[in-house]
A and B are shown apart, each in its own frame.
Chain A
Amino acid sequence: MKTTLRSYIIGFALSVTLTLAAVWLIWTHIQSGHTVFSHQFLIAAILALAIAQMLVQLVFFMHLAEESGPRWRLGALLSTVGIVLIIVIGSIWIMDHLNYNMMASPSDMNAYIQSQDGF
């Protein structure tokens, strides 16, 4: 992507569109009294829109695709994203199980186990 006014305008238009799309999804969900779209779908959809917008900004604004020769920037970015994904997903996963295994009180524990496992 050669750096021109056009590439910045396309990048800006795509960013605004992706932002408004995510807001529209959540707004529709709230206005319908939390009935339209499931929570799992919404979380997956708005995360996908955020990642799409990150790629738009990296290509159109930060010129990641302009890099020639060894792709040092891309390599550094990919390894960093890998580390961050391990930290974020690992933390959520571990702490979720820690909460499951170390509930505050026996009655909370019973209520939680019943809601999770149905016995």
Chain B
Amino acid sequence: MEKIMEKNDTHAFGFWVYLMTDIIIFGVLFAVYMVLRANTFGGPTSNDLFSLPTALVNTLVLLTSSFTCGLMTLAARKGKVNQTIAWLIATFALGATFLALELGEFSRFIAIGASWQRSAFLSSFFTLVGTHGLHIAVGLLWIIVAIVQLKLRGLTPGVTSKLTRFALFWHFLDIVWIFIFTTVYLMGML
């Protein structure tokens, strides 16, 4: 419990292997997007749709949530239950803000007729970004479960081990978003 990231922590390593398979899922969706992003079928292009300030705010919100998630790990290692819960709530709030901004963007696109049915570019865009958003939603559910477990059991070795895996998951989603931000939004501005 003192040293969470022990080499013998087979649970964390098993979860790490799951994250590796998730990298392949996202890698394939990235490949699809990169191949199809010019196929707009006369519909809106990435230049027409994306707004740099919105994407930047999204990125900074998710980066900050990754930071508060790290602070949660620190509090858990020190055995401070209330502090751990407080940082989990902060992470949840930032994650929910990110998801709300993303869904707001999706509904704006759909309102102007740029849904996933419009072109191959938009199908691949919604699949890639939506899959990431789905992961964030699962992460938010995980935070709620973690808070309930912390309230009921406190920082037992089992709960701490789950928090460690949640932190890996959340930081991993942040890395995936950095690549979405770079290849979809920033390159879409060129």
Measured CB to CB, the residues of A under 8 A from B are 3-5, 8, 11-12, 15-16, 19, 22-23, 26-27, 29-30, 34, 39, 42-43, 46-47, 49-50, 53-54, 57-58, 60-63, 66-70, 72-73, 76-77, 80-81, 83-84, 87-88, 91-92, 95
Contacts and interface: CB of A to CB of B under 8 A. Distances in A.
A88 B52 contact: no
B147 interface: no
Contacts of A80: 20-21, 23-24
Contacts of A83: 24, 27
8 contacts: A3-B77, A12-B67, A50-B179, A50-B181, A54-B178, A61-B167, A80-B20, A83-B24
Contacts of A29: 189-190
B109 interface: no
Interface of B: 5, 7, 13, 16-17, 20-21, 23-24, 27-28, 30-32, 34-35, 52, 56, 59-60, 63-64, 66-67, 69-71, 73-74, 77, 167-168, 171-172, 174-175, 178-179, 181-183, 186-187, 189-190
B189 A26 contact: yes
Most chain A CB neighbours (cut-off 10 Å) among B24, B167, B182: B182
Nearest to B187: A43
> By CB atoms of chain A within 10 A, which of B5, B74, B179 has the most?
B5
A16 B172 CA distance: 16
Secondary structure dominating the interface of B: helix
Given A26-B52, A47-B182, A62-B171, A42 B27 contact: no
A87 B35 CA distance: 12
Contacts of A16: 60, 63
A81 B86 CA distance: 35
B190 A92 contact: no
B179 A8 contact: no
B94 to A, nearest CB: 13
B174 A73 contact: no
Given A46-B187, A57-B66, A91 B13 contact: no
A62 B172 contact: yes
B70 A88 contact: no
A73 B182 contact: no
A22 B179 CA distance: 12
B28 A87 contact: yes
Contacts of B190: 26, 29, 34, 39, 42-43
Contacts of B28: 87
B127 to A, nearest CB: 15
A63 B31 contact: no
Contact of A92 (B16, B35, B181, B186): B35
Contacts of A15: 63, 66
A57 to B, nearest CB: 5
